[in-house]
Structure 1
């Protein structure tokens, strides 16, 4: 099997598995005051310090969550509610249209249920939000903006956003900028303090950690309204008993991913470049998605649109040959819908329906690339033939 869907989830690092396994046999609620509780609390706080170090943040800025989706929702909804409560004029949300659905749907929910006025920031042909676009949107009335949200790296097409420049624009106007950095951890240099972001979401299972754990890195000056109410854990913005084993394993994985980032980018980036060359040689009219400059995209991402094909058909044809990847299209009522990310870049809807994402990771090999090179041409030919019948 050639597993090329690491952006969906990547295998756990052995060190993270070892940490998780060791902690599973230890009893203790980190909120309890007795000895077992204090030992669990110590494990959590040590993990918080390790994760903060990997992310360029202070330990007090790390709020553990159940994953990236919860972290994104807490940031988007929570900051909207708190900013609006402080000033009822703040109902405008500035968001990029290429966000992961964890952000996209949270923003739309605020519009449908909370009276938010959403302004979608334009992106260019590679899916990038330019700082001038954010500056122009803010300038229309800085006082009515509740927050802005732009992801660090796109999960479908791999394009990197100019996060530091965008955060500078937002900070100058006193507007919190949130960034979904789920795909960036371990592939890009992620430094929360240097970024000037107000909030940043990360997830364990995208960086070699376990499922079901993530974090919202939250500047100490920000206090979003919580989504969950209960015991007041995690700065009173995220109640709930912490999953101590998962938190500990996540911290190990994040620390290793950050430490190995440069080597990962070199090795996996070279495999990605070989995969791109192989696909374009086999299917010359395939269209590479995202920024064609390797410096402007995730080192593990290779996204293509195949004219005359349905992405789902291609995915299944490759899956039958043991090659696992993903497609950005969604199926609604049995009808394939084009990727919202690809459409936002100005691509033709028919082309946007025929996309595949190959994403590599720490277990990827040259054999995986060779498997794709041998299978993609015949798969595209079959998918096109099927489309004509």
Structure 2
């Protein structure tokens, strides 16, 4: 099932301006997979007079398969993947950069091969070729105008060049010269080419949810059922909680967690989930930020509406330094980073107009908090999150 279909027209191009924004507002109207429906019947109206709400909760009940090797949850059903993406932008297609759109791209490519329209890659290459030709034509016109000016100066006359230097606003690509060689006459079989069948393209892509996304959907929204790959049965919440921590145990043996890895408040899953839950509960859409050398990216509504406004670097901080000395985990950013690294990351995100935020997640001390709390998500109440906003001073932008 294609996931981007409503934003495309029949000729294969994308809608522009208000039409596309209206489509996005309609398609991505729900911020979470769980929706609410309020009936307008007289019975609900009468119940409302007595303070009884007639709103009904619509739970999609999606299904995913836990994969410990990739530390993710796979959503194979295209319908469930579409719901999770369009209602909160959860997950990522394994064959796509973000939205699971591999099948849609394959259909567009096959239609283009049949002569229906150009693919996005072909349009991009055409524009690049036109820009290159524009630069060559402008350079040739400038050289010709300079040669005529030099010739006029040598002859002692006024320089009046007839050369028109093209500009980006008025330049148009010249029509390609048609091939004069006789083209072969179409055969009867070519004239009767059947229409392209979309059902012939298999859907080989699945959506991948991070462990943080999967647990948020299963625990907070109760809209995701996670299947155990060994038993093919649904996992309980306690089983999910334990399995997601065990995956950070011994490498290549995710189901085994010796005593040194067990009962640790600095488990990478707990630290990363504390930061994810903090921002997601505040209404932000969260995506991975490895492209910009950070851990997370925060979107106000989602990737299809605006670019990310904030770039998050998750920094774990131990309440008790002794816990860090005995920790078997090598948490990212747990060691003091250099000024060069901080300046580099801040500069990268400033160039793309993102505000860098250092998110400090304080790990509770084992001597203060009972380790029995680690058996349930109740231990998350003992984590604290603090933020430090960094802004790079850019004189050209900040004069006002």
Query: TM-score, normalised to structure 2's length?
Result: 0.24
Structure of greater Rg: 2
Query: TM-score, normalised to structure 1's length?
Result: 0.25
Larger RCO: 1 or 2 (CA < 8 Å, sep 6+): 1
Higher helix share: 1
